Amino acid sequence: MCCAVGAILGGGSDAEVEALSNYGYLVGLAFQVQDDLLDITADASALGKPVGGDLLEGKKTFLFLKALEKATGDDLASLERIVTNKGAKPEEISYFKNLYTNLGVLEDARDEVERLTKEALHQLEVLKNPEDIKMFISLANALLNRTK
C-alpha cells in the first residue's frame, strides 16, 4: 500500500501504481521469509533476541509450514507438538534447526527470498526514471541483505 500511495502522490500512471503496489507486496513477503530465516540462523547477539523465538512462540512461519509439508514420522510428530503445545521448549531449538536443515527448509526459504525479490524487481520494468529504479533496487537489497 505504501508503494502504491507513493506512486499515486508522485503522479504515476495506473501501470506504475500497480507495478509499485506489486513491488511492495513482493518485497514485503521476501522480507518476512528472510526474517523467518534469520530467526533460526542468525547469531543471538547480532539478532538482538533469542534464536528460535518463532518456534518458542509457536509461530507458523514459512520455515515451519514448509517443514510440516516435508516431514514424516517422528519429525512430523515433533512439529505437530509445537502446534499442540503452542510453542517449542528452549532445549528443542537446536533439534528443530537441524530438522529444518535436513529437510532442506532453510534452502527452500533462501530460494523463496530470491524468487520473490526477482519478481519484485521485475515489476520495476514499467518505471521510466532510471534513478527511481535504482532507488527501489537499493531498497530491496538493503532489506533482504540484512543480518538482523
Domain count, the chain: 1
Parent domain of 103: 2-144
What's 23's domain CATH number? 1.10.600.10
Q: What percent of the chain has pLDDT over 90?
A: 80
The grid coordinates listed for 14 are 495506473
Geometric angle at alpha carbon 136, from 54 and 3, rounded to 5°:
75
Instruction: Give tens-digit pLDDT for 109-131.
Output: 999 999 999 999 999 999 999 99
Instruction: Give tens-digit pLDDT for 25-73.
Output: 999 999 999 999 999 998 766 667 778 999 999 999 999 999 999 999 9
